[in-house]
Amino acid sequence: MNRERGGQGREAGTALAHLHAVILAGGRGTRFWPLSTGRRPKQLLRILGQRTMIQETADRLTPLVPSERRWVVTGTEHAVEVARQLPSLRSAQLLVEPEGRNTAPAIGLAARYIAARDPEAIMVVLPADHVIRDPAAFQRALAAGAQAAALHPVLITLGVPPTRAETGYGYIERGARAAEFEGQVLYEVAGFREKPDSDTAARYFAGGNHAWNAGVFLFRAGIIEEEIAAHLPELARELRDPDLMLPGDRGARALAEVYRRVPSISIDYGVLERSKRTWVLPVDCGWNDVGSWSALGEVRVPDSEGNVVVGEATVLDSRNVLVHAAEGPLVALLGVEDLVVVSTRDAVLVCPRARAQEVRKLVEELERRGRQDLI
């Protein structure tokens, strides 16, 4: 540890010069219907305000990762819109998956391309559709994590201190203290725990030894490739296909071939949970995965009546309502409570805040009715 802290200045600069960001933008998601649809998933929407979620994700990498070291993995159907929303991204940095195969193939593919560009590359992998209310704290964590990844052959996961006994997230159990960079302490991972039952979640929350898995990872490109080779050898073999690096259509055809064969599996389940060299970097940065419309009430400051409005609304004599009317007709509320109301040009959603998680039921019902145009 002394060595690390002593050499900090020069090593930090070296690590950061090799830091590449990989934004995972493959999500489809119906939980933000009617704003999100198959054509426009959550990460491409202005759910919170002026910028889309992928734009906010890219914005908060500045100045840590300049745009020439940012990569985006997305699907065919969203590539054009991603490029439009991130105009400084060069086309070579947009990795277009022919079909969704969960996070392990996406990260493996990015590692292959990035390692070809920079053999010393450190990758920070991050979802395109989360909110971070304290970007400075987030950047300090990334800087520390990049240095740790430069010096140690480990897979680092950002861990968010729980603020409630949430049963919907994955938890990381903290083990022995492993390292410290710029005041940020990293720990060995004692275990990953997927979505616990409520008693277990309450215990994790009370114990203080568990963190939420925010889906943000740091590692050297070469290390994640080694770990994929160890735990997902089939995927590693496919990703070694030399044709993948061909330019233009030939590379795209090779990728389509590879993706027909690779398993659909998450990096958490496929690699992290099986790896022996995982660290966790706890960071309190106001993280929110914005999992449903009810998150509007967590990531925006409500008015004195508890109401949150994105877009234009007239709200009279109402309390604790969440309104999104930025892309549809004005919303006018009188005398209602605890509702989510979302308007778009095509559809209007009204449901209780407590049931915002169930919005997919409406999407399923519309699908049954053959209203694919709306979903």
Contacting residues toward a second copy, per CB under 8 A: 33-34, 314, 316, 325, 328-336, 339, 341, 343-352, 355, 358-359, 361-362, 365-366, 369, 371, 374
* Distance in Å, CB of 338 to a second copy, minimum: 10
Closest to a second copy by CB, 83 or 336: 336
Question: Following CA atoms 143, 193, 204, 154 in sequence, which dihedral angle do they give, to the nearest 10 degrees?
Answer: -30
Closest to a second copy by CB, 39 or 250: 39
* Distance in Å, CB of 372 to a second copy, minimum: 13
Distance CA 218, CA 216 (A): 7
Distance CA 114, CA 99 (A): 20
Residue 92: how many CA atoms within 13 Å on its side-chain side? Answer: 11
Distance CA 124, CA 281 (A): 13
* Distance in Å, CB of 159 to a second copy, minimum: 34
Distance CA 363, CA 96 (A): 26
What are the residues whose beta carbons fall under 8 Å from the beta carbon of 241, sequence distance 6 or more? 254, 257, 258
* Distance in Å, CB of 144 to a second copy, minimum: 43
Q: Of how many residues is the chain composed? A: 375
* Distance in Å, CB of 301 to a second copy, minimum: 22
Single-letter amino acid code for the residue at 59: D
Q: If you write DSSP's letter for every residue of 161-186 in order, what string do you get?
A: PPSS--SSS-EEEEEEEEEEETTEEE
Distance CA 107, CA 94 (A): 13
* Distance in Å, CB of 168 to a second copy, minimum: 19
Cis status of the peptide bond prior to 247, with omega within 30 of 0: no
Pair of tokens at residue 126: 């991050």
Whether the CB-CB separation of 9 and 60 falls below 8 Å is answered with no
* Distance in Å, CB of 310 to a second copy, minimum: 14
What are the residues whose beta carbons fall under 8 Å from the beta carbon of 31, sequence distance 6 or more? 42, 291, 292, 293, 356, 357, 359, 360
Single-letter amino acid code for the residue at 227: E
Q: Tokens 């559709």 appear where?
A: 129
* Distance in Å, CB of 359 to a second copy, minimum: 7
